[in-house]
A and B are shown apart, each in its own frame.
Chain A
Amino acid sequence: MTDPEVVDPVAAEDITTPAARLASYIRGGGVVVPLLTALIAFFIAGLVVLVTGHNPLTTYNAIFNGTGLNWLFPWTSGADRTAAALNLQQTLIATTPLILVGLAVAFAFRAGLFNIGGQGQYTVGAIVAVYFGSKFGGMPHVLHIVLVLVLACIGGAIWAGIAGLLKATTGANEVISTIMLNWIAIWTGVWLFGLGGPLQNPDTPSVPISSDVTQSAKLPVFWGNPQLQGLHIGLFISLATVVAFWFLLNRSTTGYEVRAVGFNPEAARYSGMSVARNYVRVMAYCGVFAGLAGGLDILGWQFRIATNDVLTSDIGFLGIAVALLGRNTASGTVAAALLFGALKSGTSQRNLDPSIFDPSLATNLTLIIQGLIVLIVSTDVIALRLLRHARGLRRGRAAPPPAPEEAPT
C-alpha cells in the first residue's frame, strides 16, 4: 500500500546506504542478533568437529580453557590458574589490535564506506613503527613511544587517505582501491625487510627481518613476565581509543557529518556538508585506528617484522569480521574483538591437547568459525528470521497467527 507515510517501515525509510540499512537492523535486532549469529556459527562449526570424529563439547571446552578466560572463575586454582593467566595475557594481546582494526572498519561503515584496507593500513603502521622504533635509542622512554605511535597513526592515515582521495576526486570505489593498497603495502613490506632490502637488519644479512625496536620504545608490560610476552599497556591505549571513537562519532561535529553522510549523502550535501571532503577525512581516521594497531603490536610484543609476518598476517580481514559482528558500535567492537582474540589464542598449538582435538585442525576450526560469522552476519536476515519466528511462536500461543511485518512507525 502506498500512502507515502504509512507503508511498512523498511520501505518508508528510503534506505539509501549500507549504514542506513544497518541502523534499521540494529533497531530491529539489538544485541540479540549478533549473539545469535555467533551461536549459529559455533553450532555449525560444532557439526564440522563432529564430522571429523571428535566431540564438539570437549573440543569447545578445551578451546575455552586455552583462551585463559577460565582465569576469571574463582575456582580455577593452582597450576591451572598460572596457565590460565598466561593464556589470558595472550588472548588480550591478540584482542588489542583487533579492537583497533575493527574500529577502522566500523568508522568507515558509519560513513557509508567499506574499508577493506585495514590490512594495508595496519602494515604501514607497523613498518613506520619498526623503523622509528629501532632508531633514536637515546630518547626518553615515554617520548619515544608517543612519537612512534603518532607516526604509525599518520602512516596509516595517509595510506587510507589515498583511497578516500581517490573516491572523492575520481569516484573510484573504495573497496577496490583499499584492496589494491593492501597488496602494495604488503609487498612494500616484503621488499623493505627482504634479503638485500633497504630496511633489512644489517646484523643478520641472511634473515629477511627488520632491526629490533630499541628498549626505549617498548611498551611497558603490566601483567606477566616481560620476557615471556606479558600483557603490555597497549590494551589500555586500545580501550582509550574506543572511548575516543565513541566521542568522535557521537559528540563531535566531525562524527555528526560522518553519520549524516553515511545515512544519506544527498541530505548531507543539501545541508552544506562536503561529501567528498568527508570521504577523505573518514578514511584518514580509519587509517589512524589501523595504523595504531600496527604500532602497538610492534612496540608491545613483536619488536621486529619478518617478511613472513607481513605475508601471513590476516588481522585486517579479521577486523572486518569484528566490525560486522560488533555492529560497528564502540562496545560491540570490543566484545567481538575479544571473541576473535580468544578464538585465536584458544586454538593455538601451544594450548590444545592433541588427544582432544588436533591443534593443527583447531586453527582451521577458528578460520571456519570466522568465515561462518562473516557469512551469517552478511546474511543476517537469517538470524533476524529465526528471531522473528521465535517471537511469533511465543505470541502465537496467546493471539491469532502472527503477521510477518513489523509495526509501522
Chain B
Amino acid sequence: MTADPAALELRGITKRFGAVVANDGVDFDLRRGEVHALLGENGAGKSTLMSILYGLYTPTEGEILVNGEPVRIGSPSDAIALGIGMVHQHFMLVPVMTVTENIVLGNEPAHAAGVLDLREASNRVRELSDRYGLAVDPGAVIEDTTVGMQQRVEILRALYRGAQILVLDEPTAVLTAQEVADLFRVLRTLRESGTSIIFITHKLNEVLEIADRVTVLRRGKRVDTVPIEGQTEQTLARMMVGRDVLLDLDKTPAKPAEPVLRVRDLDVRDDRDLEAVRGVSFEVRGGEIVALAGVDGNGQQELVDAIAGLREPESGSITIDGVEIAGRGVRAATDAGVAHIAQDRHQRGLILPFTLAENLALREYRSPELSRHGWLNVRAIKERAKRLLAEYDVRGGEADAPASSLSGGNQQKVVVAREIEADPKLLIAHQPTRGLDVGAIEFVHKRLLAERDEGRGILLVSLESEEVRSMADRILVIFDGRIAGELPPTASEEEIGILMTGGGTSEAA
C-alpha cells in the first residue's frame, strides 16, 4: 500500500452465473488521473466487471475499494454517490429534451414550490463544458445533435453528478474518425484535471493511442496489467487472444476468372420509396474480392438486398453466370448461386431460439439430403451440423444448443459455415466482421480469402476502410447510391475517404 491509495481498487472479483464464471478472481486498480484501458475479446468479462463496479451486479466474491476505503455498491445510485460515472455504449438520453434537461434528469433542481429551475443547471453545464473543452450547447435538443455530441452529453452528465471515476464502455464504436479524435482530446483534458478513466474496448490501436496502462481480460481472468510503453498491437493481441494473431493477412494476388455477377444500370428504392441505388453497374469475377466501400446509408443495404433477392429493383439487370435474378426472389438468387452473410446476424442471419442444427439448415432444409416429401430428416440435419461445427471451429455449443447461447464470433462462424456450405458462385459478405473480436475477425478474413482462392466471387461490403484495403482486390466506392469510383487496394485511406464523402464536399456524419 502506498501513501496515496488508488482511486479505485477491485480485489479478487469473482462473479458466477450458475455454472458460468464470468469473472474469476479479477484484480484491477485505477490510479488517480490515468486512462486505464480494459481490453478483452467479446465475452472476456469486461462488461460483467464494469456492471459490478456500477452496482448492476453483486459480485459472488471479492471487494471494491474507493480511495482505499472498502465500499459496497448495491445500485447505480450507490456508484454515483461514490463518484463513479458510466457512459454506456447506447446512450440513455431523452431525444426530445434539451441537453440541460437530460443532464438534470433524476435530480431536477426546483424552487420551493416545485417549479423547475433550469437556469442554474444550465450555467453549470456550460461551465463544465467549457472547462473540459466539451463544446456542448446546454440548450440544444438531443435529437438535433450528432452522435459524438450525445456522447459528450453523457460524459457531461457523469461529471455534473460529481464523477471522479469515469467508465466508458466501447465509446468509439459509434463514432466517426473525427469524433474519435475529439473524444480523445476531451479524455486527455479530463485526465489532466485528475479524473480517472476506465476505457473499455477491443480495438488495439485505440489502447495504444489513449491509455496509460492496460488490463487484459481473457475468459473471465485477468491476464496482466501493463504500462502502455513498449506494447504493440501484436503484443496486446497475443495477450488478448492467448496466441499469435495474424494482423496482416498474407494475401496472394487474385486470379480473377470470368465475371460471376453482372449488375447493369440498377435502380433500387428504399423502404421510404426514395431512390437508394441509382444506375449502378459493376461486375464481380470469380476468384476476386470486390469491396464496396462507403459511409453507412449510401445505398449498400438496398444494393445487397436486390442482389440477394430480398428487394425488387425498379429497373436494371442482375445476372449470375448469365442467369437473370433481378426481382425473382431469394430462392431464385440462391438457386443461381448467391449466398449472403447478412449484416445483422441477430435480425437476419440467425434465428436465435433455433438450435445450431436448425440454423445451419436454413438454406438447404429442402434439399433431398435434409428432407423428403416435406418431412425433415432430423438425424441428417444433426449429423451435418456436427460436421460443420467441427469444420468451422464453432465453440460453445453442441448441435442442439440454441444459437442464442453462443458468443458473437461463434454465431458468425455458424452463418459463414451455412453460406459457404451452399457452394455459392457469389458470396456477399455484408459487414462480416462487425462487432467481432480479433480472433473471430481473423477467422472470417482467412475464410473469405480461402473461398476467393476456390474461385468464388466475393462482394465485401464494409464501412471499415482498413478491412476494405486489406481484403479487396478491387475497391468500389459507393456514395449517394452511385459508384463514385474504383480504386486499387493500394489506394490510401484519404483517397477512399474523399470518394466516400462525395469528393470531400459534404461532411461525414
Chain A residues in the interface with B (C-beta under 8 A): 1-7, 9, 12-14, 16, 20, 23-24, 27, 251-254, 256, 259-260, 263-264, 266-272, 399-403, 405-409
Contacts and interface: CB of A to CB of B under 8 A. Distances in A.
B225 interface: no
B43 A3 contact: yes
Given A399-B60, A403-B57, A6 B351 contact: no
Interface string B318-357: 0000000000011100100000101000111111111000
A251 B170 CA distance: 43
Contacts of B334: 272
B32 interface: no
Contact of A9 (B362, B374, B404): B404
Contact of B43 (A6, A13, A23, A263): A6
Nearest to A407: B17
30 contacts: A1-B47, A1-B88, A1-B169, A2-B88, A2-B170, A4-B42, A5-B408, A6-B42, A6-B47, A14-B346, A14-B352, A253-B374, A253-B375, A256-B358, A260-B351, A260-B354, A264-B347, A267-B349, A269-B330, A270-B310, A270-B340, A270-B342, A271-B363, A272-B309, A399-B60, A400-B58, A407-B17, A408-B20, A409-B404, A409-B405
B22 interface: yes
State the majority secondary structure of interface residues on A.
loop
Contacts of B48: 1, 6, 408
Nearest to B434: A4
Nearest to B396: A409
Nearest to A10: B404
A264 B352 contact: yes
A401 to B, nearest CB: 6
Contacts of B19: 407
B51 interface: yes
Given A1-B50, A9-B404, A266 B409 contact: no
Contacts of B353: 13, 20, 23-24, 263
Contacts of A20: 352-353
A402 to B, nearest CB: 8
Contacts of A405: 17, 57
Nearest to B378: A251
Given A251-B376, A267-B350, A400-B58, 7 more contacts: A3-B43, A4-B42, A23-B353, A264-B351, A270-B342, A270-B348, A272-B330
Interface string B42-81: 1101111011000011101000000000000000000000
Residue picked from B88, B349, B374, B404, most chain A C-beta under 10 Å: B404
Interface string B14-58: 000111101000000000000000000011011110110000111
Given A3-B47, A6-B48, A408-B20, A254 B374 contact: yes
A260 B374 contact: no
Nearest to A260: B351
Contacts of B350: 264, 267
Contact of A12 (B50, B329, B374, B404): B404
Given A12-B404, A252-B375, A266-B348, A3 B42 contact: yes
A2 B363 CA distance: 31
A302 B170 CA distance: 67
Nearest to A401: B58
A23 to B, nearest CB: 4
Contacts of A256: 358, 361, 365, 376
B281 interface: no
